[in-house]
Each structure stands twice: as structure tokens, then as C-alpha cells.
Structure 1
């Protein structure tokens, strides 16, 4: 392995990739909710500059999701769970929002970005645990509203390096889309979010001086290669499990994971 990766770090990244791939398939979250905190920890231990660590973790997470989402959505599509009409309406706004989010992240201090991550993920988890039922008449908005919703999902996803499931799944379930369809559709939305966000982070970090070796913009290439290779193999397994769990189990797993990750990033916000 080039770029001086130690074997211990390779093993850690492989394990991280396996876990994030499984969760991407299970919850439609792209894996970023797990990748960003743990990538932040690994880059911190490797001694990378504090000013770049969270942004590199976010950027590398988004790049990894480009590969993970393809594997995950293929498994969900084979079960007929993806709402492709919803994907078509949300994707344009998501692309615009993801590109914008990367530029906003460039201007934010790392501790502010970590604090934002913790706050928003905690909110999403609370909404899941409350399990408040939407009005039966509520439906997805028309095309202009879907573009606006997609833009918001894209900005938030790009800011925290996630595939968008932590926003798009609650949004769709709030609009009475069944949870299993929301998870599958969110998995499909992960690719345009990740691709647009990746391009944005490459551009944002392209002209910066003092970036560590092995980076492309803000993306840490060795981690991208190792995590992607592992995650694409476990994403289909997670997708199969998603269809075996009932609605309440799936929501509780989703919310519990979000709380745990928010806690770590809250800690990071005050220690960066």
C-alpha cells in the first residue's frame, strides 16, 4: 500500500468499510454517519493538521459513498423498493445543494462543522424515536417543493459528509412514504449527493497549501480506496437485513446509531 499506510491502519479502515457498507444497505444512510466520526478519529491519531481533519473526514466519506451507494441501491432495486419517481424529483436539488454545501464547509472552522453535525444528527434521532405519526393526508410536495427539499438535503449532507439518509428518510416518512421504501429510495439518492459533494470538496481543497501527502483536494485517497473496497461487499447484506426488520425495529436501530455518533462529534467539537 502506498502513501505510507501502516498495516494496522489498513485493518482499521477495512473494518470501518465493512461496517459502513452494511449500515448503508440497512438504513439507506450512505455510511457517512459512521464514517465521519471514525475517520476523524483515525486522522487525528495519524497526526494530520487539526484545521483539515474534519473536512478531510467529510470529503473522504462522501467519495466513499459514491461506491457504496451503487452496491446498496442495486440490492434494494432488486426487491422493487426504490421509488425512482421520488429520486428523479429530489436529485436535481440535491446536486445543487451538495455543491453549495462543500463551499460553505470550506469557510467554516472545523469545530463549528463538528458541532453542527452533532446538533443536526441528534435532532434527526429524536424525531425517529418519537415516532410521531404524520397526518394521513400528507404527501410529498409537487416538483418545486421537491427541488427545494432536495437542495436542503444536499446542503446538509455535504456539510456533514453523509449520503443524505439522515435527512431524506425522516422527510419521506413524514410524507407517509413507508420506512422500507424511504430507506431504499434514500440509498439511491446517496450517489448524486456523494458525487456532487465530492467534486465540491476536491475543488475547495485544490489550491490549499500544506495538505498531507496522498490527498486530492480534501479527499484522503488511501482511506478512500480501502474503505470503498470493503463497503461495496457488505452493502448488499445490509439491504437484505433491512427487509427482514419490522418498521419499529428499523427506526430504533437508525435512531440509536445517530445518537451514538452525535455524542462523539459533540466531543470532537470541543477538542479540535
Structure 2
């Protein structure tokens, strides 16, 4: 129960979330991702401690992650755009299909088992990590991005998978752009622009999906403990956002200061670590 947690324990949880928010914002700036791979597991542990039931816990984490990504993505994208690195034409081309994919993914997530989110993430993160760590320039689908029909299909898939994983789409869009010969710096900068296209409709979708579920857990130890609005926790949002906003521009500056290969290796190792973490949780 929430009332059984001491003030010291709550303070430690708050400090941990603030620190995780800073790390999330930094990674959003460096890698052009929203940081959902960090947000979801941290929130999962917090909600477990305060007594949120197992069944709604995972979608609550994902919906909250998407909400947190909104301000982080704004800061990250503005920082990259100021440097002229983002390809706005690609962002505009993906806008509608990404949003449609997010809507579809949010509906799927309403009924999906918790393990599905982890399995999808492991698959995407694993391919991305292999490409970045061991890939060669010859590993390409082409030297130019494909036509509108294929790009729209990519955008739709990015939207669905991002909604299921609670991420800003950076892993997926980075993978696609680099497979078509785009420089990693441009891929990272452009990917940061997808965060808003994914996080805003995704957040609204999880609020809608969780609205009737919240009424089934009226006690303090359930969804009302993290001050939930549907499947979005206002408590988690408030604790993560301040430090993540502050750290995102720092990460963007670090990304542009790093050589291409070093950035690829750093991003690949990051994804590999997260991939292993989810694999272990599936086995356990």
C-alpha cells in the first residue's frame, strides 16, 4: 500500500526517477530516441513498490513513457534542427502513416500480454545493434530512400511498433535511414522529429485505452496511487520531465561532437544492453 511506504523510501524513489529522467534526456539527445527503454523498466519497479496490480502495470508504464517522451522529443528535435541536421522532408513524409500506425498500435496494446512488448523490443533492438556494431557500408537496401509507397509503409510499421514498446521511434527510423545510406548524424537528428508524431497520439491512445480499466481498481494502492489518467501516470510524468528536458540539449551537443563510428558503436552498445535486459526478464 502507498501509506506503508516511508518518507525515506519515497524520497529515494523520487531521486532515482529524477536521475533516470536526466539520463533519459541525455540519451534522447545523443541517439535521437525518446528513452522509453529506460523509462518503462524504472516505472515498472516504482509501480510495483506502491502496489499497482500486475495486469494494468505494463500498459501503464508504456503510456506514461509515451507522455514523458513528448517534452523530451521537443527539446531534442529543436536542438538538432538548430544545427540543420534533420531531414524535414522525411519527417513530413512519415507524419501521417506514423500517426496511423500509433493509433493501430495503441489499440493492439489494449489487449496485448506483457511479454509481447518485450519480444518486439528485443527483435528490433537486436537487429539495430548488430547493424551498428558489425555492419558494413555494403549492408544497404539502396543508396537512396525509397518512393512514397514504401516510405509510408515504413512509417506505419514504425508507428505500430513504437506504440507497443513505448518508445519514440528512434531505433526503427535510425535503422531504416542508415540502411539506405543516410549518415548516422542525420538519421539521429531526423529520428528525434518522430518523437512528437508518436508520443502525442500514443499518449492520447493510452489514456483512452486505460480509462475504463482505472475504474476497476478504486483502492489507493492501484491505478490512483500514481495519479493515473487512463494508462498515463501523472506522478511518473512529473518526476521524469524536468531533468529529461534539461539534459536533452546536452546529449544533442555530445552527438554532434562525436565521430561517426564512435556514435554508431555507442548507440549499438546501448541497444544491446537493453536487449539483453529484456531477454533476461523473459527467461526469468
Q: Specify the TM-score bucket, using the shorter chain as the normaliser.
A: over 0.9
Q: Which runs of structure 2 are paired with 1:75-114 in the superposition (5 Å)?
A: 75-114=79-118
* Runs of 4+ residues deviating >6 angstroms: none
RMSD between superposed Cα atoms in Å: 1.9
**Residues 25-64 of structure 1 aligned to structure 2 (within 5 Å):** 25-64=29-68
Structure 1: runs of 5 or more not aligned: none
Residue 25 (structure 2) pairs with residue 12 (structure 1): no
Instruction: Report what 2:237 is aligned to.
Output: 224
- 1:170 and 2:175 matched: yes
- Secondary structure of the corresponding residue to residue 243 of structure 1: helix
Give CA-to-partner distance per residue, 1:174-214, whole Å, 9 cap, x none: 11111101000000111111111111111111111225111
CA distance in 1, matches of 2:272, 2:142: 30
| Closer, same or farther: CA 115–135 of 1 in aligned 2, 3 Å | closer
Kindly indicate whether the alpha-carbon contact (under 8 Å) linking 2:124 and 2:171 is maintained by their aligned counterparts in 1.
Answer: no
Equivalent of 1:212, from 203, 220, 223?
223
1:253 equivalent in structure 2: 266
Question: Does the aligned pair in 2 maintain the 1:54–1:114 contact within 8 Å?
Answer: no
Contact kept in structure 2, 1:30 and 1:165, CA below 8 Å: yes
Aligned residues of 1:99 and 1:200 also touching (Cα < 8 A): yes
Report the secondary structure of 1:177's partner residue.
coil
Whether 2:267 is the aligned partner of 1:243: answer no
Please, what TM-score do these two structures have when normalized by structure 1? Answer: 0.93
Residues 1:203 and 2:198 aligned together: no
Contact 2:68 2:241 in 1 (8 A): yes
Gaps of 5+ in 2: none
Check the 8 A contact 1:118/1:265 in 2, yes or no: yes
Q: TM-score, normalised by structure 2?
A: 0.90
Judge conservation of contact 1:111–1:270 (CA < 8 Å) in 2.
no
Match of 2:159 among 148, 154, 166: 154
Q: Deviations over 1:237-272 (max 9, x none)?
A: 00000001111111111111111112222233345x
